Structure 1
Amino acid sequence: MKMNKNQFCPLPPMGWNSYDYYDTTVDEEAVRNNAKYMAQHLKDYGWNYIVIDIQWYAQGAGTQRDKHQYIPFSQLEMDSYSRLLPDPERFPSSKNGAGFKPLADDIHNLGLKFGIHIMRGIPRIAAHHHTPVLGCSLTANEIADPSSICGWNPDMYGVRNTEEGQRYYDSLLELYASWGVDFIKCDDICNTNMYKHNPYSAKHEIEMLAHAIDKCGRPIVLSLSPGPALIEQSFHYEKYANMWRITDDFWDNWDLLKDMFHRCALWKDHVKEGCYPDCDMLPLGYLGKGFGHERQTRFTQAEQRTMMTLWCLFGSPLMIGAELTKLDSWTLSLLTNDAILNLRTPHCKPALLELNDCFSIWTVYNEIEKNAYVALFNLRDTEMEFSVSREELLNSFPENIDFTQLKELWAGQLKPCTDAVICTSIAAHDTCIYQLL
Structure 2
Amino acid sequence: MGENIQLTPPMGWNSWYCFSEGVSDARIRAIADALVDRGLAAHGWNSVNIDDCWQGERSGKFGALQGNERFPDMKALVDYVHSRGLRFGIYSTPWISTYAGFRGGSTDGGREERLSLPESQRLQSHQVFGRYPGLHELRVDRVGSEWKVGEDILQWAEWGVDFVKMDWNPNDLPTTRRIASELRDCGRDIVLSLSNDAAEADAQELLSLAQLCRISHDIKDQWQSISSIGFDQSRVWHQVMGPGCFPDPDMLQIGAIGIPNTPNPAFLPTRLTLEEQRLQFTLWCILSAPLLLSCDIAGMDESTFRLLTNDELIAIDQDPLVAPPEIRDRGNGIVEYRKTLADGTTAIALFNRADEKRSCRLGEELRGRELWSGEELELCGDFAVAPHSVRLYRTLLPEPKETAFRKAAFNGAYLKRENLATGTF
Q: Could you tell me whether the CA contact under 8 Å between 2:162 and 2:190 is conserved in 1? A: yes
1:248 aligns with 2:221: no
- Partner SS state of residue 178, structure 1: helix
CA distance in 2, matches of 1:381, 1:210: 44
Q: Could you tell me whether the CA contact under 8 Å between 2:243 and 2:322 is conserved in 1? A: no
The aligned residue for residue 152 of structure 1 is 133
- Partner SS state of residue 316, structure 2: coil
Query: By how many angstroms is 1:4 displaced?
Result: 2.9
| Equivalence map 1:324-335=2 (5 Å) | 324-335=297-308
CA distance in 1, matches of 2:16, 2:330: 31
Q: Could you tell me whether the CA contact under 8 Å between 1:53 and 1:116 is conserved in 2? A: yes
Q: What runs of 5+ residues in structure 1 fail to find an aligned partner?
A: 58-75, 95-99, 132-149, 193-199, 391-401
Change (3 A) 1:127 1:299: same
What letter matches 2:78 in structure 1?
A: A
Deviation sequence 1:311-360 (CA, Å, 0-9, x none): 00110001001011121111111111111011122415221122667121
Give the alignment partner of residue 361 of structure 2, picking from 379, 387, 392.
Answer: 387
Q: Could you tell me whether the CA contact under 8 Å between 1:159 and 1:205 is conserved in 2? A: no
Deviation sequence 1:255-298 (CA, Å, 0-9, x none): 11221212164422221111100011111111115636731100
Give the alignment partner of residue 316 of structure 2, picking from 336, 343, 356.
Answer: 343
The aligned residue for residue 122 of structure 2 is none
- Partner SS state of residue 211, structure 1: helix
CA distance in 2, matches of 1:307, 1:28: 30
Q: Could you tell me whether the CA contact under 8 Å between 2:357 and 2:387 is conserved in 1? A: yes
The aligned residue for residue 26 of structure 1 is 23
| Equivalence map 1:106-125=2 (5 Å) | 106-122=80-96, 123=103
Change (3 A) 1:185 1:153: farther
Q: Could you tell me whether the CA contact under 8 Å between 2:78 and 2:88 is conserved in 1? A: yes
Give the alignment partner of residue 205 of structure 2, picking from 217, 236, 239.
Answer: 236
| Equivalence map 1:108-187=2 (5 Å) | 108-122=82-96, 123=103, 126-129=107-110, 152=133, 154=135, 157-159=142-144, 165=147, 168-187=148-167
Please give the root-mean-square deviation of Cα atoms over the aligned residues, in Å: 2.4
The aligned residue for residue 8 of structure 1 is 5
| Equivalence map 1:31-430=2 (5 Å) | 31-40=28-37, 41-57=39-55, 76-79=56-59, 83-88=64-69, 90-92=70-72, 94=73, 100-122=74-96, 123=103, 126-129=107-110, 152=133, 154=135, 157-159=142-144, 165=147, 168-188=148-168, 191-192=169-170, 200=171, 202-227=172-197, 229-259=198-228, 260-263=230-233, 265-288=235-258, 291=262, 294-344=267-317, 345-349=319-323, 350-354=325-329, 358-366=333-341, 368-390=342-364, 403=366, 405-417=367-379, 421-430=380-389
- Partner SS state of residue 257, structure 1: helix
Query: By how many angstroms is 1:153 displaced?
Result: 5.1
Change (3 A) 1:380 1:240: same
Q: Could you tell me whether the CA contact under 8 Å between 2:196 and 2:216 is conserved in 1? A: yes
Change (3 A) 1:45 1:222: same
Q: Could you tell me whether the CA contact under 8 Å between 1:363 and 1:374 is conserved in 2? A: yes
What letter matches 1:318 in structure 2?
A: L
Query: By how many angstroms is 1:130 displaced?
Result: 8.7
Change (3 A) 1:128 1:429: same
- Partner SS state of residue 78, structure 1: strand
Q: Could you tell me whether the CA contact under 8 Å between 1:24 and 1:53 is conserved in 2? A: no
CA distance in 2, matches of 1:265, 1:429: 22
Larger Rg: 2
Give the ranges of 4+ consecutive aligned residues of structure 1 lying more than 4 Å apart after TM superposition.
122-126
Change (3 A) 1:412 1:348: farther
- Partner SS state of residue 59, structure 2: coil
Aligned residues: 359
